[in-house]
């Protein structure tokens, strides 16, 4: 992610120009005070005019700029800008010394000479001051840098405006003594200039001393760019107004408000403060873009304030002061976008020349301000107040002209304000957008606000393609905006001729240099999943070299303008400041296929979740917030009849956390949990998480050796369990410190309950969790495999992993407040831990738990009592429920998801026939936290049907995740329909395997997780698993290693590797089953059954005795290795 801070060298430059700007103002005001003091008698006698003195000072200051600026830009382009700045700061010190002498001898000619020299030095400094900025910062930070430069400039103006009259007063009008401060400021500027990083000279560039010819040539170049021309002219008008205001305010104060010159100067101080505030505001509003739409607003506000000053009654000091401040604020809004645009729009090798031409124009404006004052006072004999009114009329004309020329930019700015107000808006990848060249933006479509988000996220004009159906149904205001933005109307149902015309219009827009944006899905998603991309955009760029920019809008699903809750409607409380992001991806060639572009957009969705990680809270923090929002709502129930509300669950978990702390040491990072699914297990996991420790749910169905291995790997010294639960388990090796839930939760006094209630209800979550800040990537749980290899693997999952997976799952399931999750999977199971435990708690819905997933009758009663609506289980358990549960007990189910093993069509059909709801398959792995893909119900919203599932497919990748199919050997990305390895990328990908860095490295490749599964993907993103790369089977939700089963059986039967082998074949009931080939003739079914009964391995590992085949010899390949393929084919034939 790009750093948005400005570099240190920029700040040294900013301080340098700050000193120069301050000196200009201090010395100029001291000069005005001195000349007025020296000519006071003549002014009183009517022989001289203060307006004439002001005009002459302004003329003297502006004239050198007109002469020097034309060649100054060439110097800045050819020589090192940093080197020139240092030399100019040395000359400034010398000029200030000469000015002090002029004031000491009270010599007007010497004083005007000083002013000429000072403005000459400033004329050379100007192109360097602004031209060096693009060499210090990138285009995304130009507005911010210019906002900072303007802020410091006007702080300098403020400081100089405050300091000059004070110096005059403090020294009792000893102006030479007062000017000594200018010498110190010059020395400060010289010192800071030496800290600026050197910039390269460009000796190859021609140095022209024909200044006016060079400026004239540059103006001819600028004229070819209409927007750049307007920006330069607008800057000239602004500086005319600014110079007039600065000089005219002194006469205005004396004539209209009865102030002295020193007092009248303080009015401009308010304007300078306003300019600083306005400049900062303009930089903030622009963000990483340049918002031209601010300019007419600034101009209108300036004309309004000047109109007020021009019509105020005499002596109205307070309203005059307010008007001067607002005038400055409006000026800041006006100038920042213009100066940023001139820098941004200028070619890199012509920045100095264009800055010089722009400066020449602005100094013409400043010179015109002196003439304006003279004409207003000496020729028209009008007052200073009349001058303000005339200027207001001129700026009003400019504002109206800018609205006429730039109406779309103005509308864009208004829309930008709306998006910044309604959304927490972030943009990434602006560097991937071409500065001026055409490009086709291809974006996902999740809400009605998508086009506005795209347009306001960057500074260029975008021609959008819009559905003609939406346009026809839109209101008059929307239609006006659409016409103003030159939106291209298109519809998928258009006849070929009409469709081709729309695509040709888009192509023409590209030829004209525009960015063109198309939502390739054709319609807004109704499920949260990205819809298949249509191929129309390929025709737009066919035969060109225009780049295709993939764009992803993240976070907008679920906002007020999305279809997550049906038709979009205003839900102000939940949608205000909704977090959304826009990501511009790396440009793709025009020859890219629809599938390749869709994959690129999908991969950008991963970045949107990485962006969220910056502000990610911990799992415990999210639960605390959820419990407080749903304090009196039922959180968890189980078959024992125990019911806990969210508030009660939080209080109980905090008490358990405190007692856990009292019975463990601080050094213990991992806590073992050996409990069945239920409220006790939930409290244990929540308490461990709230204590910022790692929960390790031990698999009580695994062999004792696996349980022991898991504890040793995690260095577990404490296990939370229950005496009652241990009674039904065989002897398991547990850690030295066994804590029983019955003991920890007894003898809770009413005082302890009340104190914990206050903490749970009132204390900030950050403090409740402890002083240590939890990083999103910190591990929060370790889930173990069932020991498929010699030693079980511990999968480390972080707070970000789990919360991202919950958010992705929630975004497509869209749980309602009244939903109830039926939780029967154990918490050592990744689906049970993330989806049936944390998901409902974080989402604020009720969980109905049962300890044993095989007890269908009890589960049915529980589901009926609490009206369970969401079920996530395995196909094996689903078959049991189909046989044992009554239809009315599952009457409220509207989501049934299966995972962990293949769902046979026969089981799905039986379940749907009995309960009236079709079970849907998902795909995941413990390493993926675990859900990464899901089938969804087909939906129809606003007369548009969206396919959520497809036969023989496992769904599509969830939002925030990307999937690709690669060649198993080369790693090359494969085309749709081609079989290969399934890779998954997303925020849900595990931190790694515990203490197994080599194994972690073997499955993680640049953020992509190698699932080990062979599959294929359709062009529209639906995918299927067609096989497995390694010899593993997924049975009962657990990955079973054929090699581990072989080894256990070989040792039990005392057979060698060439005498017994294990393969897996498809099974209608379980998805897969293990089959054994052996050459031990003495074995029969009874002997096998007795051997398996005595064998200390999980039941899932034990192949059915009926699936054992006796062979004379195991088939071999030519290489001498076992031919597993032949054995699998033979097993399938039986």
Characterize the bridge pairing of strands 1038-1041 and 1032-1035.
antiparallel
Residue with tokens 């996902």, as numbered in its chain: 444
Q: DSSP secondary-structure letter at 1116?
A: B
Using only C-alpha atoms, the chain has a radius of gyration, in whole angstroms, of 38
Q: DSSP secondary-structure letter at 970?
A: T
Same domain, 1063 and 1020: no
pLDDT at 1116 over 80: no
pLDDT value for 789:
36
pLDDT value for 569:
56
Distances (CA, A) of 351 to 73, 131, 343, 633: 8, 6, 7, 64
pLDDT value for 507:
92
Q: Which of 596, 615, 634 is the last residue of a domain?
A: 615
906 occurs within a structural domain? no
Characterize the bridge pairing of strands 944-946 and 956-957.
unpaired
pLDDT at 41 over 70: no
Backbone angles phi, psi at 794, to 5 degrees: -95, 120
DSSP assignment of 475-515, as one string? Answer: -HHHHHHHHHTTPEEE-TTS-HHHHHHHHHHHHHHHHTT-E
Same domain, 79 and 205: yes
Q: What is the CATH number of the domain that holds 1007?
A: 2.30.38.10
The mean pLDDT value for 668-687 works out to 95
pLDDT at 2 over 60: no
Selected residue with higher pLDDT from 945 and 434: 434
pLDDT value for 721:
94
381 occurs within a structural domain? yes
pLDDT at 1038 over 60: yes
Give the separation between CA 17 and CA 192, rounded to whole angstroms.
9
Q: What percent of the chain has pLDDT over 90?
A: 34
Residues 396-414 pLDDT 10s: 888 888 778 777 777 777 7
pLDDT value for 951:
85
Least confident among 136-145, 291-300, 843-852, 971-980: 136-145
- Tokens linked to 222: 């600028």
Least confident among 153-167, 434-448, 875-889: 153-167
pLDDT value for 359:
74
Helix (H, G, I), strand (E, B) or coil at 1039: strand
Backbone angles phi, psi at 1034, to 5 degrees: -105, 110
Same domain, 400 and 427: no
Selected residue with higher pLDDT from 106 and 154: 106
Bridge partners (DSSP) of residue 581 are 426, 554
Helix 646-662 and helix 750-761, axial crossing angle in degrees, nearest 10:
110
Same domain, 1040 and 1022: no
Helix (H, G, I), strand (E, B) or coil at 939: strand
DSSP assignment of 685-711, as one string? Answer: HHHHHHTT-EEEE--TTS-HHHHHHHH
pLDDT at 696 over 90: yes
Residues 850-904 pLDDT 10s: 998 888 899 999 999 999 999 998 887 888 899 899 999 999 999 999 987 778 8
Same domain, 109 and 93: yes
621 occurs within a structural domain? no
81 occurs within a structural domain? yes
Q: pLDDT-derived band of residue 573, with 50, 70 and 90 as boundaries?
A: very low
The mean pLDDT value for 1104-1115 works out to 92
Give the separation between CA 1032 and CA 1012, rounded to whole angstroms.
9
Give the separation between CA 710 and CA 74, rounded to whole angstroms.
73
Q: What is the CATH number of the domain that holds 1074?
A: 3.30.300.30
Q: Which of 1026, 1049, 1083 is the last residue of a domain?
A: 1026
Q: pLDDT-derived band of residue 558, with 50, 70 and 90 as boundaries?
A: confident
pLDDT at 1043 over 60: yes
Q: Which of 405, 433, 467 is the last residue of a domain?
A: 405
624 occurs within a structural domain? no
pLDDT value for 559:
77
Least confident among 58-62, 109-113, 416-420: 416-420
Helix 8-38 and helix 81-104, axial crossing angle in degrees, nearest 10:
20
pLDDT value for 1:
43
323 occurs within a structural domain? yes
pLDDT value for 942:
65
Total number of domains constituting the chain: 4
Same domain, 458 and 319: no
Question: Where is 1026: in which H helix or E strand?
Answer: strand 1023-1028
pLDDT value for 791:
59
Question: Where is 1004: in which H helix or E strand?
Answer: strand 1004-1005
pLDDT value for 1119:
41
1039 occurs within a structural domain? yes
Q: What percent of the chain has pLDDT over 70?
A: 92
Yes or no: say if 1103 and 1062 are a contact pair by the CB < 8 Å rule. yes
Q: pLDDT-derived band of residue 352, with 50, 70 and 90 as boundaries?
A: low
The mean pLDDT value for 1069-1096 works out to 90
Selected residue with higher pLDDT from 1047 and 827: 827
Give the separation between CA 691 and CA 789, rounded to whole angstroms.
32
Same domain, 1081 and 973: no
pLDDT at 788 over 60: no
The domain containing residue 176 runs over which residues? 8-405
Report the mean per-residue pLDDT for the chain.
85
Same domain, 1045 and 1013: no
pLDDT value for 1121:
56
The winner for highest mean pLDDT among 452-466, 763-777, 844-858 is 844-858
pLDDT at 105 over 80: yes
- Tokens linked to 165: 């009259």
Yes or no: say if 396 and 274 are a contact pair by the CB < 8 Å rule. no
Q: What is the pTM of this model?
A: 0.72
Q: What is the CATH number of the domain that holds 72?
A: 1.20.1250.20
pLDDT value for 117:
92
Query: Which residue blocks in 701-781 are alpha helix, DSSP H?
Result: 704-714, 723-727, 741-744, 750-761, 765-768
Selected residue with higher pLDDT from 1076 and 380: 1076
CB atoms within 10 A of CB 631: 15
Q: Which residues of 481-513 are buried (b: 16+ CB within 10 A; e: fewer)?
A: bbeebebbbbbeeeeeeebeebbebbbebbeee
Same domain, 287 and 144: yes
Q: pLDDT-derived band of residue 842, with 50, 70 and 90 as boundaries?
A: very high
At a CB cut-off of 8 Å and minimum separation 6, what does 480 contact? none
Same domain, 1049 and 1013: no
Nearest to 372 by CA among 384, 356, 361: 384
Give the separation between CA 825 and CA 839, rounded to whole angstroms.
13
Yes or no: say if 990 and 1010 are a contact pair by the CB < 8 Å rule. no
Q: What is the CATH number of the domain that holds 569?
A: 3.40.1130.10
pLDDT value for 44:
63
The mean pLDDT value for 753-779 works out to 88
Bridge partners (DSSP) of residue 1034 are 1039
Q: DSSP secondary-structure letter at 531?
A: P
- Tokens linked to 995: 């203490």
Q: DSSP secondary-structure letter at 199?
A: -
Angle (CA) 180 181 183, round 5°: 65
Same domain, 1000 and 1101: no
Give the separation between CA 532 and CA 556, rounded to whole angstroms.
18
Angle (CA) 360 361 362, round 5°: 90
Surface-to-core class of residue 463, CB atoms within 10 Å of its CB (0-12 exposed, 13-18 middle, 19+ buried) = buried
pLDDT at 165 over 90: no
Give the separation between CA 476 and CA 473, rounded to whole angstroms.
10
Helix 1085-1094 and helix 1042-1053, axial crossing angle in degrees, nearest 10:
100
The mean pLDDT value for 140-161 works out to 78
pLDDT at 1020 over 90: no
Give the separation between CA 534 and CA 599, rounded to whole angstroms.
13
The winner for highest mean pLDDT among 469-478, 977-986, 1030-1039 is 977-986
Give the separation between CA 738 and CA 810, rounded to whole angstroms.
36
pLDDT value for 995:
92
Give the separation between CA 304 and CA 321, rounded to whole angstroms.
14
Q: Which residues of 23-56 are buried (b: 16+ CB within 10 A; e: fewer)?
A: bbbbbbbbbbbbbbeebeeeeeeeebbbbebbbb
CB atoms within 10 A of CB 1132: 11
Strand order in the sheet with 846-849: 643-645, 634-638, 846-849, 820-823, 870-873, 895-898, 920-924, 931-934, 956-957
Nearest to 214 by CA among 146, 127, 133: 127
Angle (CA) 1081 1085 1088, round 5°: 80
Same domain, 446 and 375: no
Selected residue with higher pLDDT from 1090 and 146: 1090
pLDDT value for 822:
96
Give the separation between CA 462 and CA 412, rounded to whole angstroms.
11
pLDDT at 440 over 90: yes
The winner for highest mean pLDDT among 566-575, 876-885, 954-963 is 954-963
Least confident among 375-379, 420-424, 1068-1072: 420-424
94 occurs within a structural domain? yes
């Amino acid at each position: 992610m790009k750093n948005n801070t400005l570099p240190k060298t920029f700040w040294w430059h900013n301080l340098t120009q700050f000193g120069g700007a301050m000196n200009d103002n201090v010395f100029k005001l001291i000069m005005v005070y001195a000349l007025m003091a020296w000519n006071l008698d003549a002014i009183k006698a009517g022989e001289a005019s203060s307006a004439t003195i002001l005009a002459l000072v302004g003329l003297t200051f502006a004239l050198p700029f007109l002469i020097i600026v034309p060649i100054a830009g060439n110097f800045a382009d050819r020589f090192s800008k940093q080197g020139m700045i240092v030399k100019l700061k040395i000359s400034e010190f010398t000029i200030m010394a000469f000015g002090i002498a002029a004031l000491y001898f009270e010599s007007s000619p010497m004083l005007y000479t000083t002013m000429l020299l000072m403005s000459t030095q400033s004329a050379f400094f100007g192109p360097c001051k602004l031209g060096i900025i693009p060499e210090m910062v990138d285009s995304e930070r130009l507005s911010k840098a210019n906002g900072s430069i303007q802020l410091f400039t006007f702080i300098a103006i403020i400081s100089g405006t405050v300091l000059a009259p004070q110096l005059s007063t403090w020294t009792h009008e000893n102006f030479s003594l007062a000017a000594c401060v200018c010498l110190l400021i010059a020395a400060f500027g010289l010192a800071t200039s030496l800290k600026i990083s050197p910039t390269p000279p460009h000796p190859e560039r021609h140095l022209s001393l024909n200044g006016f010819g060079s400026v004239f040539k540059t103006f001819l170049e600028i004229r070819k760019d209409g927007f750049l021309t307007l920006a330069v002219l607008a800057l000239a008008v602004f500086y005319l107004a600014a110079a007039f205001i600065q000089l005219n305010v002194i006469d205005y104060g004396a004539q209209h408000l009865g102030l002295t010159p020193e007092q009248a100067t303080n009015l401009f101080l308010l304007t300078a403060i306003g300019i600083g505030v306005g400049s900062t505001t303009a930089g903030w509003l622009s963000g990483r873009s340049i918002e031209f739409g601010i300019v007419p607003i600034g101009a209108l506000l300036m004309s309004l304030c000047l109109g007020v000053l021009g019509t105020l009654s005499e002596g109205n000091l307070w309203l005059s002061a307010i008007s001067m401040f607002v005038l400055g604020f409006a000026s800041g809004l006006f100038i920042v976008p213009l100066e940023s645009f001139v820098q941004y729009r200028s070619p890199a090798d012509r920045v100095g020349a264009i800055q010089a031409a722009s400066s020449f124009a602005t100094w013409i404006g400043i010179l015109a301000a002196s003439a304006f004052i003279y004409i207003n006072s000496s020729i028209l004999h009008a007052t200073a107040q009349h001058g303000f009114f005339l200027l207001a009329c001129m700026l009003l004309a400019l504002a109206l002209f800018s609205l006429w020329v730039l109406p779309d930019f103005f509308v864009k700015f208004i829309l930008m304000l709306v998006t910044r107000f309604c959304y927490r808006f972030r943009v990434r990848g602006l560097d991937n957008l071409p500065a001026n060249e055409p490009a086709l933006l291809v974006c996902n479509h999740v809400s009605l606000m998508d086009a506005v988000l795209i347009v306001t996220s960057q500074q260029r004009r975008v021609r959008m393609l819009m559905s003609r159906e939406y346009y026809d149904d839109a209101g008059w205001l929307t239609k006006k905006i659409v016409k103003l933005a030159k939106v291209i109307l298109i519809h998928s149902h258009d006849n070929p001729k009409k469709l081709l015309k729309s695509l040709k219009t888009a192509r023409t827009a590209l030829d004209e240099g525009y960015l063109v944006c198309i939502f390739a899905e054709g319609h807004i998603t109704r499920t949260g999943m990205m819809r298949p991309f249509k191929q129309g955009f390929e025709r737009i760029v066919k035969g060109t070299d225009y780049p295709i920019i993939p764009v992803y809008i993240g976070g907008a699903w679920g906002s007020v303008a999305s279809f997550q809750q049906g038709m979009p409607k205003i839900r102000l409380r939940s949608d205000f400041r909704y977090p959304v992001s826009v990501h511009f991806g790396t440009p793709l060639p025009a020859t890219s296929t629809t599938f390749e572009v869709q994959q690129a957009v999908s991969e950008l969705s991963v970045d949107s979740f990485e962006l969220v990680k910056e502000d990610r809270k911990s799992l415990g923090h999210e639960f605390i917030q959820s419990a407080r929002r749903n304090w009196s709502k039922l959180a968890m129930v189980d078959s024992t009849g125990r019911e806990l509300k969210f508030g009660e669950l939080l209080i109980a978990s905090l008490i358990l956390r405190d007692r856990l702390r009292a019975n463990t040491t601080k050094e213990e990072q991992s806590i073992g949990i050996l409990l069945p699914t239920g409220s006790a297990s939930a409290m244990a996991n929540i308490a461990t998480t709230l204590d910022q420790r790692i929960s390790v749910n031990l698999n009580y169905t695994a062999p004792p050796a696996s349980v022991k291995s898991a504890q040793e790997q995690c260095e577990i010294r404490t296990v939370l369990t229950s005496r009652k639960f241990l009674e039904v388990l065989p002897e398991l090796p547990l850690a030295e410190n066994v804590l029983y839930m019955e003991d920890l939760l007894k003898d809770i006094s009413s005082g302890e309950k009340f104190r914990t209630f206050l903490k749970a209800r009132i204390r900030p979550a950050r403090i409740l969790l402890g002083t240590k800040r939890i990083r999103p990537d910190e591990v929060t749980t370790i889930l173990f495999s069932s020991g498929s290899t010699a030693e079980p693997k511990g999968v480390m999952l972080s707070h970000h992993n789990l919360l991202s997976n919950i958010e992705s799952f929630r975004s497509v399931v869209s749980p309602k407040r009244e939903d109830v999750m039926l939780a029967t999977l154990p918490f050592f199971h990744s689906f049970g831990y993330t989806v049936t435990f944390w998901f409902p708690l974080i989402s604020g819905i009720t969980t109905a738990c049962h300890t044993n997933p095989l007890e269908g009758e009890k589960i049915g009663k529980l589901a009926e009592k609490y009206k369970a609506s969401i079920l996530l289980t395995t196909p094996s358990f689903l078959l049991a429920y189909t046989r044992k549960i009554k239809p009315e007990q599952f009457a409220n189910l509207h989501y049934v998801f299966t995972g962990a093993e293949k769902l046979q069509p026969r089981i799905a059909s039986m379940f749907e026939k009995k309960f009236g709801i079709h079970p849907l398959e998902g795909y995941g792995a413990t390493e993926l936290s675990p859900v990464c893909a899901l089938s969804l119900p087909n939906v129809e919203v606003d007369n548009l049907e969206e396919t959520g599932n497809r036969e023989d497919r496992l769904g599509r990748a969830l939002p925030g995740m990307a999937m690709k199919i690669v060649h198993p050997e080369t790693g090359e990305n494969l085309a749709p329909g081609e079989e290969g390895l399934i890779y998954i990328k997303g925020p849900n990908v595990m931190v790694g395997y515990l203490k197994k860095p080599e194994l972690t490295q073997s499955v993680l490749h640049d953020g992509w997780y190698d699932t080990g599964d062979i599959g294929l993907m359709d062009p529209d993103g639906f995918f299927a698993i067609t096989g497995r790369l390694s010899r593993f089977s997924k049975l009962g939700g657990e990955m079973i290693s054929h090699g581990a089963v072989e080894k256990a059986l070989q040792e039990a039967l005392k057979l060698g590797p060439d005498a017994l082998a294990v393969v897996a074949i498809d099974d209608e009931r379980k998805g897969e089953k293990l089959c054994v080939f052996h050459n031990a003739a003495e074995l029969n079914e009874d002997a096998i059954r007795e051997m398996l009964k005595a064998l200390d391995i999980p039941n899932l590992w034990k192949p059915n005795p009926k699936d054992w085949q006796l062979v004379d010899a195991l088939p071999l390949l030519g290489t001498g290795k076992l031919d597993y393929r032949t054995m699998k084919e033979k097993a399938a034939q039986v």
